[in-house]
Amino acid sequence: MRRETANVLLILLGGALLKLAYTGDYLRYVKPVHQPWVIGGGTVMLLLGALAIWRDVRSGSSGQEGARHGHSHGHSHGGTSAWLLLVPVFAVLFVAPPALGADSVARSAGGAARVQANAAETAAFSPLPAGRAVPMPLTEFQARAGWDEDGTLEDRTVALTGFIAHRGDESYLARMVIGCCAADGYPVTVRLGGAGAEQASRLSDDEWVTVTGGLVPGSATEATEFVPELAVETVRVIDPPSDPYEY
């Protein structure tokens, strides 16, 4: 590969990273704390490419790889493998894959329940704030449903936000949890039952909703792989949130 081609690839890839950081789409792939890394990495990549081009233009070199200072040895650098840098560029700029969704939930079906590791350790759960329909992350709901011995969810209504995933005849509310990037994501699910389940079953996979309802007591047990059931009262379709994961 010629030196200029590699430079253009670096600028494109750096630009693609910066675009993700700027539009907020990076949240589909990594945790929010990665933003400075994405910006920094993209900027440096772009600068390294641009600087090399600027130097070549200034020195009037025809710019073959390896022709430059310190690197002058017969064969070309980067070789053919550098072409692979084009794959993430295309993926980000032209395909823009969506956040993980119902397909990942289906994929993890049959595996052991991926229980929140520290849920069991968090022995004491603080009481829920007052008010009707307390909003709550799915991970917290699952932890309270499975391990809270003080019954903080008893007779309370919660509001849960996630996407719809169907498994057989059942409808689930799901959310992916990531530790670092989407490669390590795993789902947290809540079975939708009760009066509103019928409405949820008509929605398609990956549709984002906020549901309200109460925990069906004793539904999150080892037999159900600690998947709690919610007696659904209302279902409201919402726009997908900019930050689709829980952490």
Partner 1 sequence: MSTVPDTVIGEPEPAPPGKRKRVTSIEVLTVLLALAIVGHEVLQQLLDVPALRTGATVFVAICVQALPFLVLGVLLSGVIAAFVPARLLERVLPRKQGAAVGVAGIAGVALPTCECAAVPVARRLMSQGVAPAAALTFLLAAPAVNPIVLVATAVAFPGEPAMVLARFAGSLATAVVMGVLWARFGKLEWIVERARRRLPETPRGDRWQVFTETARGDLVDAGGFLVLGALIAAAMGVLVPAGWFGVLGDQIVLGILVMAVLAVLLALCSEADAFVAASLSGLPLLPKLVFLVVGPAIDVKLFAMQAGTFGKSFALRFAPVSFVVAILCGVVAGVLLLGGLR
Using CB under 8 A as the binding rule, the residues of this chain from 184 to 223 that contact partner 1 are: 184, 186
CB atoms inside a 10 Å sphere around CB 164: 25
Strand 208-215 vs strand 170-177: parallel, antiparallel, or unpaired?
A: unpaired
Q: Which is nearer to partner 1, 84 or 130 (CB)?
A: 84
Q: What are the residues facing 177 on neighbouring strands?
A: 186, 246
Site size toward partner 1, by CB under 8 A: 83
The answer to whether residue 168 forms part of the interface with partner 1 (CB under 8 A) is no
List binders of partner 1 among 48-87 (CB under 8 A).
48-49, 51-52, 55, 62, 64, 68-71, 73, 76-87
Name the segment binding partner 1 (CB under 8 A); options: 29-37, 167-175, 189-197, 210-218: 29-37
Structure tokens that stand for 165 in this block = 């995933």
Task: Tell me the closest approach of the beta carbon of residue 238 to partner 1, in angstroms.
Answer: 21
* Closest to 93 (Cα-Cα) out of 180, 39, 14: 14
Q: Which is nearer to partner 1, 85 or 215 (CB)?
A: 85
Residue 235 belongs to what H/E stretch? strand 229-237
Structure tokens that stand for 161 in this block = 């936000």
Task: Tell me the closest approach of the beta carbon of residue 76 to partner 1, in angstroms.
Answer: 6
Q: Which is nearer to partner 1, 2 or 202 (CB)?
A: 2
List binders of partner 1 among 125-164 (CB under 8 A).
none
SS3 174: strand
Residue 163 belongs to what H/E stretch? strand 158-167
Q: Which is nearer to partner 1, 71 or 236 (CB)?
A: 71
List binders of partner 1 among 105-124 (CB under 8 A).
106-118, 121
DSSP letter (8 states) at residue 109: T
Residue with tokens 């233009």: 57
3-class SS shares of the chain: helix, strand, coil, % to 5: 40, 20, 40
Q: Which of 18, 22, 24, 44 binds partner 1 (CB under 8 A)?
A: 44
Q: Which is nearer to partner 1, 5 or 234 (CB)?
A: 5
Q: Which of 11, 18, 100, 145 binds partner 1 (CB under 8 A)?
A: 100
